[in-house]
Amino acid sequence: MTVKILAVGDICGPPGLRMLSKRLRPFIEENDIAFTVVNGENAALTGLTPENAEAIFRAGADVITLGNHTWNRREILSYLDENAFILRPANYAPQTPGRGWGVFETPFGDVCVLNLIGRCDMPFGPDNPFFEADRILKKVQTPIVLVDFHAEATSEKLAMAYHLDGRVTALWGTHTHVQTSDAEVFPKGTGYITDLGMTGAARSVIGIRPEQSVSMYLGNPPQRFEAAEGPAKMEGAVFTVDVNTGRCVAVEAFRLEGVR
């Protein structure tokens, strides 16, 4: 028996939330998706609020993962302890709020979701994600294990995929907001894509108003970033999974466009 698991790239600001609310559930129904993971760390542009999280769950997400902007919205801190369906990177310091992985019941069996953050060009001095993944996987009993690796460097993401090949069902990268063209099943059965892309304004610089990014790279004084407007896109990947073995048998990236 196989099921389809959906991973959706970083939700970026109001355009991304609107896109998700209009297109996620129809996509789930049309493609017979059994389980959905959404990265929500940019839903408030930098960070996630409890209101953002509830909107993402209403749209159809089963689990929300986060990343380097986890702590940007202070109001999310207590919410991370209260809601087991929101994960922050597991290799953050152990005293931080929330949890980095969880096992979730589904009609086709338990699913483990693990959230990690890379160390290349990332703040907060996270622990080694390779060691953290090894430590957690020793505790996991379910055959289906999904990993959101929120990392800057493509080399770090690829290295993690080879490190975990055959030990996890799927590993996808988030953070760069640019979808890569390397969706594949690794030799030992792990589905992989270097970056899912993003869910936000299509005509933007990774979700931000283009003129603001241009101004920054010209060296002008910094300004508070604003989400670009206009038609949005939703990007991610669908992993087809054998529920008995936990191996991925197919992976396909997708992009939907058109919602303002």
- Please answer whether residues 117 and 151 qualify as being in contact, where contact means their C-beta atoms are separated by less than 8 angstroms: yes
Question: What is the reported pLDDT for 259?
Answer: 65
For residue 181, the tally of other CB atoms under 10 A from its CB is 7
Segments making up each domain of the chain, as ranges? 2-259
- The pLDDT of residue 38 is 98
pLDDT at 122: 83
Please give the chain's pLDDT, 260 residues, in tens: 999 999 999 999 999 999 999 999 999 999 999 999 999 999 999 999 999 999 999 999 999 999 999 999 999 999 999 999 999 999 999 999 999 999 999 999 999 999 999 999 887 678 999 999 999 999 999 999 999 999 999 999 999 999 999 999 999 999 999 999 999 999 999 999 999 999 999 999 999 899 999 999 999 998 888 999 999 999 999 999 999 999 999 999 999 997 66
Supply the DSSP symbol for 140: -
* pLDDT value of position 260: 65
At residue 168, the pLDDT reads 98
Assign residue 189 a region: left if phi > 0, alpha if psi is -120 to 50, beta otherwise?
left
Q: Dihedrals φ, ψ of 240, to 5°?
A: -95, 125
| Global pTM value | 0.96
User: Residue 82: how many CB atoms within 10 A of its CB?
Assistant: 10
Write down the number of H helices and E strands in the chain: 6, 14
| Active-site residue set | 69
Q: Does domain 2-259 have CATH number 3.60.21.10?
A: yes
Model confidence pLDDT, tens digit, residues 15-38: 999 999 999 999 999 999 999 999
What is the distance of C-alpha 23 from the center of its chain? 17
- Return the SS3 of 51: helix
Distance of CA 127 to the CA centre of its chain: 19
- Percent helix, strand, coil in the chain, to 5, is 25, 30, 45
Answer whether 233's CB lies under 8 Å from 216's CB.
Answer: no
